Amino acid sequence: MTQKNEIYVSADGTLRWQGKTYPCALGKGGVVEDKTEGDGATPTGRYRLKRVLYRADKMMRPECALNVTEINATDGWCDDPTHPAYNTQVSLPFAASHEELRRTDNIYDIIVVMSHNDNPPVPYKGSAVFFHLARDGFTPTQGCVAITEEAMRDILKTVTDDTYMVISL
């Protein structure tokens, strides 16, 4: 039975929310129960949608009940499992391995930060597992869940601070 506050993601690339079904891209490593840093896989589990980041220089602010903040040129995300800031947002320049959140492609134009491996982050259990925008053709991600901008905006209008994403095999 589905819960009102849960977004369901299946390993076959479908996302279900409030009676609607959307195609989604998942990790190139498939969907796994035991996520490891760099495996390119999307982890199974139940993750709270925490906050939204977006590119104000490229688009309008998403309509959403979650905290929404702009992505700046100095925003990054630490993906170095040996660093104390592992799996957290960092300010660039940053000496350890990291992702830049202000990318040249559009996939991070809207990012939903989820509660994957964050309380506290466990080294090597995966970082930067986001809900973000899909590439054309829904090509695989590095382990995230990705959908079209239209679908993302549709979903964000209705989520609350107690909405979870449930990813299953």
Q: In which band, very low, low, confident or very high, does the pLDDT at 142 lie, cut at 50, 70 and 90? A: very high
Q: pLDDT tens for residues 53-100?
A: 999 999 999 999 999 999 999 999 999 999 999 999 999 999 999 999
pLDDT at 2: 53
Does the pLDDT of residue 1 top 80, yes or no? Answer: no
pLDDT at 17 over 70: yes
The pLDDT of residue 4 is 80
Mean pLDDT of 25-31: 98
CB 78 within 8 Å of CB 97: yes
Maximum distance among all Cα pairs of the chain, rounded to whole angstroms: 46
Phi, psi of 156 (to 5 degrees): -60, -30
Helix, strand, coil fractions of the chain, as percent rounded to 5: 5, 35, 55
Residue 12 has pLDDT above 70, yes or no: yes
The verdict on whether omega for the bond into residue 140 sits within 30 degrees of 0, i.e. cis, is no
Q: Which two tokens stand for residue 24?
A: 């989604």
Average pLDDT score, the chain:
97
SS3 54: strand
**What one-letter code names the amino acid at 86?**
Y
